[in-house]
């Protein structure tokens, strides 16, 4: 049996779309609800074309150019006319064609699919596309008018684009060369940051919509809830419809957790979904929560010169990362005048009459700032799913339990992405979606979760794969460490990044690579060299015997390997 892997031609198309630049910037606005609406979404979209073509001509997978056929369908002379029979062509929506951006299937219809996917984030997208690649009929249900999920609309893409804008405009990367006063733009405003983010979001949505369309996936707008283990109801302001499927993938993601202690006001007391709604960059800011989201935003605003206070209940930040890398990050944070309040818990948050925000800590300290970002955990989006009708349930944090193949206790229902909990990464959610679809249709997969990398977009970045020193010590596994410093590598000097470092952890006997940990700009890209060696069960000797382009940061691998192996010689 031959399986088709998601990402084959899609990867090429993504690149094409990136170079084209899409139609970024047109008709795009932040709605009051914080959801990125697309004005202008009322025209015929790719999904309309694909769906119409399949209705008329069968699976568009069989005919890769359904557009011409659909144009015939749109021709008034051949199209259906409206009920008054006045000769006007029916709006395609009235023909039940437009199940994306503007409508759902007509009331009372019961559409049958091989796979229903709930949620259009990275997990849902990959599950639906993988099913389509297997020749299956897939529906993707998204309750928002805009596709892409948290990853595109409020999480990964906006935060990483804001980060890029911050690094560029603040001149951060070149301050070690041109001096700490070097800036590309001053003052930097929220408008500068959101301008860039919204353009990238718009383009990404176009790219994803094109991928779904090209693969013949029906994108339905509405909230999906179970009627029974094989049937779902899709409800939107435009009506209801029922869907039936042999398999279902739940990829509904998460939303920021709320706290009765925090009076969110959408402007100065916000969660991470509301960052772009801050009217201006505050002079001082409190971040509650030392997880990935809290620390990433702390770094971004600190780089803009905002006086930051980071409050975390636990004794250290980013507990799952290597302690040495986190210590190095804390050094950078303090160097940027961030106040770290570790082992501290927030008791209440209030606004003062002079528009300051005060966080009252259990230790009786008061921390004040012009704004507060509450980044303590996220809650699974399960409330609207009516899980009980499918014989399923979620835990108190809205997480659904799955087995190693992402099956719930109903073997035909899978759950992937953030709704199943850790690691809650877009990268991993995509892979889980792909695997779930493959398992559903009995196709082979070869994915090893021990080889999944972590990228934390702090400033500087942290990225790693494999075990940390603490984990190996706890497990009683002997190891040796090789370290390379960006400042000792020519490319580090050229880029002005003299504080980064790369650490290799390896077995002193077999020399097998056990972990790679990097802190420094570009860490999340640089890691992938180590990831390949790690996944292929290579040894640190590979790096010694390999010639890397010069001058590159990749040379850090060679320097770290020499450093580690030389320690073995000395002992
Ligand atoms: C600020 C921030 C920064 C991040 N940065 C990174 C990063 O740098 N790298 C990284 O890999 N990950 C990052 N993440 C995590 C990443 O965004 C998530 O892991 C990823 O979006 C999860 O994908 P998903 O498919 O599980 O769900 P989501 O992307 O959350 O999508 C779920 C979708 O389901 C829809 N939905 C929910 N309920 C229903 C229903 N009943 N019916 C229909 N539709 C429904 C929702 O509207 C939503 O569109 C970040 C997250 C945040 C918040």
Pinpoint the alpha helices (H) of 366-468: 426-440
Query: Among residues 146, 148, 87, which one has the least CA distance to residue 121?
Result: 148
Select from 152, 156, 435 the residue to mutate for testing ligand 1; criterion: most ligand atoms less than 8 Å from CB. 156
Query: Average pLDDT in the 258-264 region?
Result: 93
CA angle 343–266–189, rounded 5-degree value: 90
Distance CA(408)–CA(402), nearest Å, equals 5
Distance CA(6)–CA(442), nearest Å, equals 15
Indicate which atom in ligand 1 lies nearest the CA of residue 416: 26
Q: Decide which of 53 and 448 is more confident.
A: 448
Q: 132 with 217: CB under 8 angstroms? A: yes
Phi, psi of 39, rounded to the nearest 5 degrees: -65, 150
What spacing in Å lies between the alpha carbon of 199 and ligand 1's midpoint? 19
- The three-class DSSP label of residue 316 is coil
**pLDDT score, position 364:** 97
Query: Average pLDDT in the 191-219 region?
Result: 96
What spacing in Å lies between the alpha carbon of 154 and ligand 1's midpoint? 8
Query: Average pLDDT in the 255-279 region?
Result: 93
**pLDDT score, position 64:** 35
Phi, psi of 111, rounded to the nearest 5 degrees: -85, 140
pLDDT in tens, 485-528: 999 999 999 988 888 999 999 999 999 999 999 999 999 999 99
Is there an atom of ligand 1 within 6 Å of 463 CB? no
What spacing in Å lies between the alpha carbon of 150 and ligand 1's midpoint? 3
Indicate which atom in ligand 1 lies nearest the CA of residue 456: 8
CA angle 203–425–483, rounded 5-degree value: 110
* Cβ neighbour number for residue 348 with a 10 Å cutoff: 14
Query: Average pLDDT in the 45-66 region?
Result: 37
Is there an atom of ligand 1 within 6 Å of 417 CB? yes
* Cβ neighbour number for residue 169 with a 10 Å cutoff: 20
pLDDT in tens, 419-451: 999 999 999 999 999 999 999 999 999 999 999
In the chain, % of residues over pLDDT 90: 75
Distance CA(395)–CA(94), nearest Å, equals 41
Distance CA(326)–CA(297), nearest Å, equals 16
pLDDT at 470 over 90: yes
pLDDT at 24 over 80: no
Query: Average pLDDT in the 213-238 region?
Result: 97
- Name which of 173-177, 420-424, 454-458, 529-533 the model is least confident about: 173-177
Q: What is the CATH number of domain 269-376?
A: 3.50.50.60
User: How remote is the C-alpha of 143 from its chain's centroid?
Assistant: 18
Indicate which atom in ligand 1 lies nearest the CA of residue 150: 29
> Which architecture characterizes domain 112-256+380-449 according to CATH?
3-Layer(bba) Sandwich (3.50)
Is there an atom of ligand 1 within 6 Å of 381 CB? yes
Long-range CB pairs of 497-503, under 8 A, 24+ apart, other chains included: 497/173, 497/176, 497/460, 497/521, 497/522, 498/176, 499/328, 499/332, 499/460, 500/460, 500/553, 501/328, 501/556, 502/526, 502/556, 502/557, 502/560, 503/322, 503/324, 503/325, 503/560
**pLDDT score, position 199:** 94
Burial class (CB in 10 A: 0-12, 13-18, 19+), 548: middle
Query: Average pLDDT in the 13-28 region?
Result: 28
pLDDT at 23 over 60: no
- The three-class DSSP label of residue 506 is strand
pLDDT at 67 over 90: no
Query: Average pLDDT in the 215-232 region?
Result: 98
Q: 252 with 408: CB under 8 angstroms? A: no
At 358, list the tokens: 């005060």
At 160, list the tokens: 């990483």
**pLDDT score, position 109:** 66
**pLDDT score, position 401:** 98
Q: Do domains 112-256+380-449 and 460-570 have the same CATH topology?
A: no
What spacing in Å lies between the alpha carbon of 2 and ligand 1's midpoint? 31
Phi, psi of 303, rounded to the nearest 5 degrees: -65, -25
Distance CA(184)–CA(164), nearest Å, equals 13
* Cβ density class 143-165: b for 16+ within 10 Å, e for less: bbbbbbbbbbbbbbbbbbbbbbb
Q: Decide which of 54 and 246 is more confident.
A: 246
- The pLDDT mean for the chain works out to 84
Q: Whose CA is nearest to atom 6 of ligand 1?
A: 156
Q: Whose CA is nearest to atom 8 of ligand 1?
A: 156
Query: Average pLDDT in the 526-552 region?
Result: 98
Establish how many alpha carbons lie within 13 A of residue 166's alpha carbon, considering only the half-sphere containing its beta carbon.
Answer: 23
What spacing in Å lies between the alpha carbon of 123 and ligand 1's midpoint? 8
Is there an atom of ligand 1 within 6 Å of 453 CB? no
Domain locations in the chain as residue ranges: 2-108, 112-256+380-449, 269-376, 460-570
What spacing in Å lies between the alpha carbon of 269 and ligand 1's midpoint? 22
- Name which of 58-72, 307-321, 327-341, 507-521 the model is least confident about: 58-72
Distance CA(132)–CA(62), nearest Å, equals 11
97: Cβ contacts below 8 Å, ≥ 6 apart: 48, 51, 52, 55
Whether the model pTM is above 0.85: no
Q: Predicted confidence band at 47 (pLDDT cuts at 50, 70, 90)?
A: very low
pLDDT at 380 over 60: yes
Indicate which atom in ligand 1 lies nearest the CA of residue 147: 49
Phi, psi of 64, rounded to the nearest 5 degrees: -75, -5
Is there an atom of ligand 1 within 6 Å of 272 CB? yes
DSSP string, 333-366: HHHTTPEEEET--EEEEEE-TTS-EEEEETTS-E
- Superfamily grouping for domain 460-570: FAD/NAD-linked reductase, C-terminal dimerisation domain (3.30.390.30)
Query: β-pairing, 239-250 with 357-361?
Result: unpaired
Phi, psi of 83, rounded to the nearest 5 degrees: -65, -30
Q: Whose CA is nearest to atom 16 of ligand 1?
A: 426
Distances (CA, A) of 300 to 116, 306, 479: 38, 9, 35
At 536, list the tokens: 């292929």
DSSP string, 440-467: HTT------GGG--EEE--SS-EEEEE-
85: Cβ contacts below 8 Å, ≥ 6 apart: none
Q: 393 with 410: CB under 8 angstroms? A: no
171: Cβ contacts below 8 Å, ≥ 6 apart: 178, 182, 183, 184
What spacing in Å lies between the alpha carbon of 292 and ligand 1's midpoint? 14
Select from 34, 99, 121 the residue to mutate for testing ligand 1; criterion: most ligand atoms less than 8 Å from CB. 121
Query: Average pLDDT in the 155-171 region?
Result: 95
**pLDDT score, position 108:** 54
Distance CA(295)–CA(283), nearest Å, equals 18
At 44, list the tokens: 């015929």
What spacing in Å lies between the alpha carbon of 418 and ligand 1's midpoint? 7
Query: Among residues 274, 283, 304, which one has the least CA distance to residue 168?
Result: 304
**pLDDT score, position 569:** 80
Q: Predicted confidence band at 177 (pLDDT cuts at 50, 70, 90)?
A: confident
Q: Predicted confidence band at 351 (pLDDT cuts at 50, 70, 90)?
A: very high
pLDDT in tens, 268-299: 999 999 998 899 999 999 999 999 999 999 99
Q: Predicted confidence band at 95 (pLDDT cuts at 50, 70, 90)?
A: very low
What spacing in Å lies between the alpha carbon of 496 and ligand 1's midpoint? 35
pLDDT at 1 over 70: no
């Amino acid at each position: 049996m031959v399986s088709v892997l998601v990402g084959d031609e899609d990867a090429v198309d993504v690149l094409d779309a990136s170079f084209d630049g899409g139609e970024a910037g047109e008709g795009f606005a932040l709605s009051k609800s914080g959801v990125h609406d697309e004005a202008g979404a009322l025209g015929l979209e790719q999904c309309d074309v694909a769906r119409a073509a399949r209705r008329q001509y069968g699976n568009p997978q069989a005919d890769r150019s359904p557009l011409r056929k659909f144009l015939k369908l749109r021709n008034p002379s051949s199209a259906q006319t409206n009920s008054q029979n006045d000769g006007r062509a029916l709006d395609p929506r009235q023909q039940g064609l437009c199940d994306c951006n503007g409508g759902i299937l007509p009331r009372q219809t019961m559409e049958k699919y091989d796979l229903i996917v709930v949620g259009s984030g990275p997990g849902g997208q990959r599950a639906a596309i993988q099913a389509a690649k297997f020749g299956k009929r897939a529906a993707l249900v998204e309750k928002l008018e805009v596709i892409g999920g948290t990853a595109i609309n409020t999480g990964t893409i906006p935060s990483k684009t804001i980060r890029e804008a911050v690094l560029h405009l603040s001149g951060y990367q070149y301050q070690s060369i041109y001096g700490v006063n070097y800036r590309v733009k001053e003052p930097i405003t929220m408008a500068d940051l959101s301008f860039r983010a919204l353009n990238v979001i718009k383009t990404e949505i176009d790219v994803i919509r094109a991928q779904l369309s090209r693969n013949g996936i029906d994108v339905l707008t509405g909230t999906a809830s179970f009627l029974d283990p094989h049937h779902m109801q899709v409800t939107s302001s435009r009506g209801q419809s029922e869907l039936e499927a042999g398999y279902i993938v739940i990829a509904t993601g998460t939303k920021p957790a709320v706290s009765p202690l925090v009076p969110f006001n959408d402007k100065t007391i916000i969660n991470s979904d509301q960052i772009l709604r801050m009217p201006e960059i505050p002079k001082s800011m409190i971040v509650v929560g030392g997880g990935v989201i809290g620390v990433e935003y702390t770094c971004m605003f600190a780089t803009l010169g905002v006086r930051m206070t980071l409050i975390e209940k636990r004794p250290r930040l980013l507990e799952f990362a290597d302690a040495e890398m986190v210590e190095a990050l804390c050094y950078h944070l303090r160097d940027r005048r961030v106040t770290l309040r570790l082992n501290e818990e927030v008791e209440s948050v209030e606004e003062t009459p002079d528009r300051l925000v005060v966080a009252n800590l259990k230790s009786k300290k008061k921390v004040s700032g012009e704004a507060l970002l509450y980044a303590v955990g996220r809650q699974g989006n399960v409330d609207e799913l009516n899980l009980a009708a499918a014989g399923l349930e979620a835990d108190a944090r809205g997480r659904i339990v799955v087995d190693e193949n992402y099956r719930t206790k109903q073997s035909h229902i899978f759950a992937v992405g953030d709704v199943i909990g850790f690691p809650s990464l877009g990268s991993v959610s995509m892979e889980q979606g792909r695997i779930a679809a493959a398992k559903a249709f009995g196709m082979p997969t070869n994915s090893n979760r021990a080889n999944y990398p972590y990228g934390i977009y702090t400033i500087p970045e942290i990225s790693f794969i494999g075990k940390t020193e603490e984990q190996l010590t706890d497990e009683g596994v002997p190891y040796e460490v090789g370290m390379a410093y960006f400042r000792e590598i020519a490319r580090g000097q050229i880029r002005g990044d003299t504080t980064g470092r790369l650490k290799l952890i390896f077995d002193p006997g077999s020399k097998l690579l056990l972990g790679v940990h990097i802190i420094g700009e570009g860490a999340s890209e640089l890691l992938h060299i180590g990831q390949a060696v790690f996944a292929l069960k290579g040894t640190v000797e590979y790096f010694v015997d390999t010639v890397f382009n010069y001058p590159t940061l990749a040379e850090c691998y060679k320097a770290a390997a020499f450093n580690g192996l030389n320690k073995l010689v000395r002992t």
